Structure 1
Amino acid sequence: MIPVLYWFCTEKLSVSGLFIGLLKALRYQVINGRNIELRERLYRVLEGCQVEMIIFDEAQRITPSSMSEIRDIAEVLNISVVLVGTDRLNAVIQRDEQVLNRFMGHYRYPRLDAEGVREMSGQWEKHVLRMSESSNLMSKKVQSLLL
Structure 2
Amino acid sequence: MPDEEVKPEEKIEEIKDDAAISTKTVETDNKVQIVQAPVEDKGTQVVEAPVVEDESKIFTKVEIEAEFPGGASAWTKFVRNNINADVPVDNEAPEGTYSVIVRFIVSKDGSISDVVAETKHGYGMEAEAIRAIKKGPKWTPAQQNGRYVNAYRRQPITFVVQAN
**TM-score interval, smaller chain:** under 0.3
The two structures have a TM-score, normalised by structure 2, of 0.22
Which one scores higher on RCO, CA 8 angstroms, separation ≥ 6?
Answer: 2
Greater fraction of residues in strand: 2
Greater fraction of residues in helix: 1
| Greater C-alpha Rg | 2
The two structures have a TM-score, normalised by structure 1, of 0.23
